[in-house]
Structure 1
Amino acid sequence: MDNNEITPEGAIAPPAVTAKYDDEKNLAHEYDEKDLHPGEYTHTLLSEVVQDESAIAGLELTGANDLEQLEARLDTMSLERTAKIVKQLLLMHTNDQNFPGHILDQMRLFLSDPNIFENPEKHADLVHEMKLEALLATENSPYIEVRGNVSATDDPNMYVSTVRAWVIGCLFSAAGTFIDNLFAFRNPGISVGVNVAQLVSYPVARAWARLLPDWRIRLFGQEICLNPGPFNKKEHMLITIMCNVSFTSPYTNYIIPVQALDMYFNESFAYSRGYQFLITFSSNMVGYGFAGILRKILVYPSTAIWPASLSTVALVTSFHDEANVPVRGPFNKVYSATREKIFLIGTVGMFIYYFFPGFIFEAMSLFSWMTWIAPNNIHLDAVTGITGGLGLNPWPTFDWNMFGGSGLYLPTFVVLNMFGGVLIGAIMTLGIWYRNTWNTGYLPINSNETFDNTGASYNVTVMLNDKGGFDEAAYRAYSQPWFSAGYLVYNIWAFAQYSATLTYVILFHRHEVTRGYKGVRKSMRKIWASIRRRPATDSSEDIDDLEEDVHYRLMQAYKEVPDWHYAVLLIFPIALGMVAVGAWPTHSTPAALVYGMIMPIIGLVPIGMIQAVTGISVALNIIADIIGGTINAGNANGLMFFKCWAYISSWQAIGFCSDMKLAHYLKIPPRVTFWAQLVATFIFSLVSSMSFNFIMSFPGICTEDASFRLTCPAQTSFYTASIFWGTISPKKLFGPGQRYNTLLIGFPLGFIMVVLYWGARRFFPKSEFVRQIHPVMIIAGPVAYAAPYNLAYYLGNVYVNLISFQYIRKRYVAFWAKWNYVISAAFSTGIAIAAIIMFFALEMPKGGFSIDWWGNNVVALGCEGEGGCARLPMPDAGYFGPAPGTYT
């Protein structure tokens, strides 16, 4: 398995932020302090609070005027209909750790007490609140999360497809693609997230609106305006959608270097720019075609809420509220700075600071201070080392980029569950290494490399024939592949994650998925009726109060994209991909693409529905490795191409659907969204393919001697997986009697963990502690932070999250909501700018420039500098394991 690929496992839904004003007393206390009118302060909260699935109750995020309108409509909601809707809402959120428990308790009380229905006047307060909840669900959206973040109104005359939005979107897409593609080779990587694009584009567009003239021309009957007026939220979301497509690295970021570089497969054809562009563009566009064809199933129904998209909507919306109300914060002071000012201060501050851990004093980044005591102590390094061990270090870094700052946007229960999983993985790794299970004691404890039986890096070219295929005789004469304890533990948990996710969805989210499939059935009926040009009819069983929301109805004002547009985007890229595979000496058949297409055709609707409804990602990479490795046994390139179309097309289709939902929530015309995603994908593919040879030309790239830490941890993992699954094939590794067959225990392990948790929830139904446990997140820990990563790359998130979520947010929610995401994006922007300057101005020039002193050299001492040491000396025979030629 290739950990550190661009997999959906790592894509956990961003957090939500909430205003925890549970009653009018809290509101009164706050507006008394601020000398504000209650309704005015409620509006202020609405403008400042970003989405938080953890405590949004519809009434808590409803303005005073909206409440008055709802109150006037209470008589239209009967008690029986209220009960039906509340029951549906309860089913949706019973197993949602982000949903407030006290709201669920009120719903259960309402439904379980027959006296409420017999004598509603005696329970007027509870009935009143439940009717309001039911009205909110039907008059706006059935989902509290959506109501708290997405406006239920639209202005069809608001301009969106402007010169300003397109220019900024295209420039940002190109810049973000290059930065992310370049630093995806780095350890740790540097990524410019879409939140950065959201924040940076705002002052740029505002400056455009203030400074540029209002020049207008007519072209093809349309008036094009250079400066149509104030920058609005639809333009902002259009830019965000374009950046969402391109602010990442393509899957070919793994394929191209692994095929081309001499420390991997050393295949010269991969340096061809034509091949690079065709394979990159085709693999990206196939996913878009799938997304478009399935949009009426995975995007438009109200059941497809796409929880991860809501914080993006909230952040964009918050920037276009003109109010800048002072907020109370730490030290009980009132802070009045604007978001733009805080963003600027945070960016400049982190830009300056990052020169220290990134260049001047690199030991601040890899702060493996315990190993400095005895650099050559193998056991000390194995336990506490950052580059050579498991990172069990209470303070492993002063570098924000080491842990990525996700503690500012992941809910606490996610952070702590993953933290527990990383610890469990570390303990398992130590046990395997010290017991010398699978001869891991002869290897470094936590490497993602593939080794031969002498402990050297595995030379895959030795066992390949002149066509790049597997040579059985050469394989037997050389060596079996061997993997470190850390990498083996990763594989166990990767298997477990697959079975655990499916089991968790079945046990805890079957009601949501069933509701989603009802929406699928209804959408398919409408599609079929439109093909036959007959009106769709809904049977009584399909009537659902929570089916189509107000956002779907509002989007009917805009022209739809014809389905044949997406069909072209599905078929044409397949042809381009087959040309790339067949026209260059890949030693693979274009049929690998055809085989690969079967997986998304079968699996995309169920996994897309699961993610759209529950926010839980179901990755296809494991099953793609197993099936692809079996079909393409002995051919690593065949496996790579199979995975491109089997796994990545599904992952990209889900990403495109998520972006379409962003446009749906902001009421961006579908045809504008279509072209925005298409243009951004072209830019993404072009810039990526044009940068590969430039990046691969750096001296020492993908080796321990590479400058600026361009050591390619993800590419090495991909190479290992290609050998693991492709060249050698699953049969030789996991077949009956084979050495790593035991790793398959991960599949039943994931199932058992979820079932045990399900039993605990039933045995302790009122325990909030048990409710906050999430077995899938526990398993995600050792998968996301597997070799060569470790606890040191994650512990900072725990500290940051406890300060942000558990201290600041609980005490100063408005302060937190206003600036939390801004600070996160500012730090990412400052690091990205500093890294670019350091790389191109200091590292890249001939001869480079570095500071030769202890603070930079100590990180290269002893086992840390070697990436870890083996615990056991090599046997006298010069190799470990079975003798060459004796294994089958």
Structure 2
Amino acid sequence: MPNLREKAMQRLKGGMRKDLEDLLDIGPQTDYLFDMMSSLSVDEALQILEAAADYHSDDPNFPSETLRIIAIMLKGEEAYGTDHESYILDVLLEATLIKFHSPYPEVRAICDPTDDPSMPVETIRAYFLGVVWVAIGSFINELFNFRQPSLKLRSTTLQILLYPCGKLLEKILPDKGITLFGVRHSLNPGPWNFKEQMLATLMVNVGSGSTNFMSYVLTMKLKFFFNQSWVAFGFIFLLNFSTQFMGFGLAGVLRRWVVYPSKAVWPPSLLPTLMLNRTLLLPETGRNIHGWTISKYKFFFICLGASLLYFLIPGYTFTALSTFNWMTWIAPQNKVLAIVTGSSLGLGFNPWTTWDWAVMNYSNPLAIPFFSACNRYIGMLFAGLLIIALYWKNYKWTGYLPINSNGTFNNKGSAFNASQIVNNKLELDLEKINPTHLPLFPWVI
């Protein structure tokens, strides 16, 4: 088809295919995609679409509207309902994005379809910054993990801190290095780039968090818990690493099903990380998107300032907005209302539970797919109704306990004393266990 690119651009600019507006970005990546589109025949494109429709038929991340359009395309030009030229253009455009880029619009928005192999990745400074911030992040996260309120250096914060550190090393380090196996490794190979930032980000994402095992270590070692003096560094190191390597090992064993397939992507674990690094490292495009021409940095600082100012309201000025128990205000003395609708000690059946973004963002709602959020909340709804029924039936005498608590209780509703069922060595004493000395747990912990 002559003038393929011009005709395709005219169709996109006319708003005929809003789901394919990725191609409106003029640049080397767009040139590459149009070159690939020119190399495809219509029959090849239809085969690509047929394979994609079959592969992504049960993919919850694949846009349902795109899947519907592909299904109509495969039925033929008459079913598609456009002229011959528009049908061919749309088939080629869709197949090009699926084969030579990504079938997911979210991925296309933050990733390029081509790679620059000349860009250095495993540089000395990238490993240096990765190790340094892993040490700092893991130390702070572990130190404050058991304190209330806890303080955490999340991966997004570390990403932002990595960028100025990388730019600083770019300015101060000399271009000196060593050559190993014919490859020169320099302290300063050039500008701090996207790949170096991504490598350091992967390191801090994997290594800076605290592990669940450390809470067991504290319980075993501290004097006011089990005071087990044999819990030493060797035991902690080996058991901690073995549990972590077990997770990585399972991921490796199951990589054929949970890593390699493109539809196995989990948006919250990938897309925000890539998007932030892209925002920090790549230059502005200057595009006019729905009338918006604001730069990413200006938009970021406006949102940052607005969120900080707003946080003062539920965080300090009017803290009741954080856990917004407005339904219990209707009848403050009503125990049933507090149990069902209360956010702190109740089940939280409340249509508007908070005005605090820190509380709203607890489950990362902007990144988690809608189907997953719905599945979670539907499960919580059914579980809550079941808990209410069993609680009011006083099943296993749980009606005498708080419905929502992280504590354990004895048969009189008081805090359970674990020393009643252990011996002098803080070991479980089976002879001391009887029905009156068993811990009781609330329905919601």
Q: TM-score interval w.r.t. the shorter chain?
A: 0.7 to 0.9
Structure 2 residues not aligned, in runs of 5+: 1-9
| 8 Å CA contact retained: 2:13, 2:24 | no
In the superposition, relative to structure 1, how do residues 143 and 356 fare at CA in structure 2: closer, same or farther (>3 Å)? Answer: closer
Counterpart for residue 26 of structure 1: 15
1:483-523 deviation per Cα after TM superposition (whole angstroms, max 9, x unaligned): 2233xxxxxxxxxxxxxxxxxxxxxxxxxxxxxxxxxxxxx
Give the AA of the match of 1:462. Answer: Q
Counterpart for residue 343 of structure 2: 386
Give the match's secondary structure for 2:389: helix
In the superposition, relative to structure 1, how do residues 282 and 96 fare at CA in structure 2: closer, same or farther (>3 Å)? Answer: closer
In the superposition, relative to structure 1, how do residues 136 and 189 fare at CA in structure 2: closer, same or farther (>3 Å)? Answer: same
Matched, 1:267 2:227: yes
In the superposition, relative to structure 1, how do residues 374 and 305 fare at CA in structure 2: closer, same or farther (>3 Å)? Answer: closer
When structure 1 is superposed on structure 2, of 225-234 and 308-317 the one drifting more is 308-317
Give the AA of the match of 2:52. Answer: L
Matched, 1:283 2:249: no
Matched, 1:88 2:51: yes
Question: Post-superposition shift, 1:444?
Answer: 0.3
1:153 to 105, 114, 134: 114
Give the AA of the match of 1:212. Answer: I
Matched, 1:43 2:25: yes
CA distance in 2, matches of 1:174, 1:395: 40
| 8 Å CA contact retained: 1:432, 1:485 | no
Counterpart for residue 196 of structure 1: 157
Counterpart for residue 306 of structure 1: 265
Counterpart for residue 73 of structure 1: 39
CA distance in 2, matches of 1:187, 1:431: 33
2:390 to 416, 422, 432: 432
| 8 Å CA contact retained: 1:188, 1:401 | no
1:455 to 413, 430, 439: 413
Percent identity reads: 31
Q: Within 5 A, what are the aligned runs for 1:128-167?
A: 128-140=89-101, 149-167=110-128
Matched, 1:103 2:66: yes
CA distance in 2, matches of 1:256, 1:359: 35
Question: Post-superposition shift, 1:242?
Answer: 0.7
Question: Post-superposition shift, 1:454?
Answer: 1.4
RMSD, matched Cα: 4.3
In the superposition, relative to structure 1, how do residues 433 and 397 fare at CA in structure 2: closer, same or farther (>3 Å)? Answer: same
In the superposition, relative to structure 1, how do residues 343 and 376 fare at CA in structure 2: closer, same or farther (>3 Å)? Answer: same
Counterpart for residue 476 of structure 1: 434
| 8 Å CA contact retained: 1:259, 1:270 | no
Matched, 1:445 2:403: yes
Question: Post-superposition shift, 1:200?
Answer: 3.5
CA distance in 1, matches of 2:296, 2:354: 31
Q: Within 5 A, what are the aligned runs for 1:602-621?
A: none
Q: Within 5 A, what are the aligned runs for 1:507-526?
A: none
Question: Post-superposition shift, 1:459?
Answer: 3.1
In the superposition, relative to structure 1, how do residues 185 and 391 fare at CA in structure 2: closer, same or farther (>3 Å)? Answer: farther
1:229-250 deviation per Cα after TM superposition (whole angstroms, max 9, x unaligned): 2221101111110111034321
* TM-score, normalised via structure 2 length: 0.77
| 8 Å CA contact retained: 1:326, 1:335 | yes
RCO higher in structure (CA 8 A, sep ≥6): 1
CA distance in 2, matches of 1:268, 1:374: 49
Counterpart for residue 195 of structure 2: 234
Give the match's secondary structure for 2:211: coil
Give the AA of the match of 1:239. Answer: A
Give the match's secondary structure for 2:433: helix
CA distance in 2, matches of 1:349, 1:84: 49
| 8 Å CA contact retained: 2:102, 2:108 | yes
| 8 Å CA contact retained: 2:420, 2:437 | no
Give the match's secondary structure for 1:268: coil
Number of residue-to-residue matches in the alignment: 430
Structure 1 residues not aligned, in runs of 5+: 1-20, 30-38, 47-61, 487-786, 788-888
CA distance in 2, matches of 1:292, 1:170: 23
1:610-630 deviation per Cα after TM superposition (whole angstroms, max 9, x unaligned): xxxxxxxxxxxxxxxxxxxxx
Counterpart for residue 249 of structure 1: 210
In the superposition, relative to structure 1, how do residues 67 and 239 fare at CA in structure 2: closer, same or farther (>3 Å)? Answer: closer
| 8 Å CA contact retained: 2:138, 2:210 | yes
| 8 Å CA contact retained: 1:370, 1:384 | yes
Matched, 1:178 2:139: yes
In the superposition, relative to structure 1, how do residues 372 and 140 fare at CA in structure 2: closer, same or farther (>3 Å)? Answer: closer
Give the AA of the match of 1:65. Answer: D
In the superposition, relative to structure 1, how do residues 142 and 259 fare at CA in structure 2: closer, same or farther (>3 Å)? Answer: same
CA distance in 1, matches of 2:196, 2:392: 57
CA distance in 2, matches of 1:314, 1:27: 27
Give the match's secondary structure for 2:365: helix
